[in-house]
Structure 1
């Protein structure tokens, strides 16, 4: 564990798990900008609301929801996709993406099941729980950060590096979900 001073608070951060080498400018942006808002109260509350509403889902239920999402992504009638994209938290995420002046390509928030709670742009799938972005953060505890390899992202059609964070309830210290921020790789080289 190491400490990071941020906005007058000292955060205990788990070691950063990395699948790839992180350019210094990207690393600086992660710690100077993203760490300031990825555990915002609005994010924590939205995750907790979905955790409460969904409860513990079976693997079959999760897969069914993911299949529904994938089928709805490119159709005009998309109740599950619309529910996520029209969530108030999705507006919050879009504002942060817009303020980044092109550095952020996408942002999405996941509940304890690894299911989307909110997103700035439509993701290609609904269930992130089977991916490193969720497993290396939610499953690793408070303060966990995972930086994935830079690759062409299917959803955004840009080369991006995804950085994911465990989202922690500040009152209980419990990890409630995770957030992934896609960063435009070309902006950091």
Structure 2
């Protein structure tokens, strides 16, 4: 995106110059349509469901102090670009699946990551800055809100992506029971939704 287009978009979002951009995220209808057509159809794929269930079983008795330690380990490994925890997630089957799904969204998605029932990442298309999402709205307003929950966050300018992004999150349910088992977040470039 050109610098002038970025500036024009920022001004339009900030002062409501574009029609229909008076609220924090006027792209919700387009985002919901994309979620319905491009994401929800694969949320019951066995690769995704099995990975979440396995991690939920592994973390059945995890404590908050253990979660905090894993998150600190992840942050250090993310800064270094490698490490046993980061590599175990980035090299798993679910992460490969999410990379493929991100590519299938033709540049609309900046990242996709899946969280377990305590908010820890299970798989992801790109390295996230933290491993634990349980203290954030993306997990709290989906997994904790129940099986039909969707949370679409505000649009923000991402300096590293040089784009206006919104994160959309959905509760993931066990297709056999209908019970929530985790959540997914997709970072979306709203400019690609026009």
Bucket of the pairwise TM-score, normalised by the shorter protein: 0.7 to 0.9
Tell me, yes or no, if structure 1 residue 91 matches structure 2 residue 96.
yes
Find the partner of 1:180 among 166, 178, 185. Answer: 185
> What pairs with 1:109-124 in structure 2 (closer than 5 Å)?
109-124=114-129
1:138 maps to which residue? 143
Tell me, yes or no, if structure 1 residue 21 matches structure 2 residue 21.
no
4+ residue runs of structure 1 moved beyond 6 angstroms?
A: none
The answer to whether the 8 Å contact 2:28/2:152 transfers is no
**TM-score (norm. length: structure 1):** 0.84
> What pairs with 1:94-105 in structure 2 (closer than 5 Å)?
94-105=99-110
The answer to whether the 8 Å contact 2:75/2:130 transfers is yes
Structure 1: 5+ residue runs without aligned partners? 1-18
Tell me, yes or no, if structure 1 residue 164 matches structure 2 residue 169.
yes
Structure 2: 5+ residue runs without aligned partners? 1-23
Name whichever structure is richer in strand by fraction.
Answer: 1
1:7 maps to which residue? none
The answer to whether the 8 Å contact 1:129/1:135 transfers is yes
CA spacing shift, 1:76–1:108, aligned 2, 3 Å: closer
Following TM superposition, by how much is the alpha carbon of 1:154 offset from its aligned partner in structure 2, in angstroms? 7.4
State the number of aligned residues. 172
CA spacing shift, 1:39–1:150, aligned 2, 3 Å: farther
Following TM superposition, by how much is the alpha carbon of 1:41 offset from its aligned partner in structure 2, in angstroms? 2.4
The answer to whether the 8 Å contact 2:146/2:171 transfers is yes
1:57 maps to which residue? 62
The answer to whether the 8 Å contact 1:124/1:154 transfers is no
2:47 maps to which residue? 42
Higher relative contact order (Cα pairs below 8 Å, separated by 6+ residues) = 1
Following TM superposition, by how much is the alpha carbon of 1:63 offset from its aligned partner in structure 2, in angstroms? 0.8
1:148 maps to which residue? 153
Partner Cα separation in structure 1 for residue 144 and residue 159 of structure 2:
25
Following TM superposition, by how much is the alpha carbon of 1:42 offset from its aligned partner in structure 2, in angstroms? 1.7
Name whichever structure is richer in helix by fraction.
Answer: 2
The answer to whether the 8 Å contact 1:94/1:120 transfers is yes
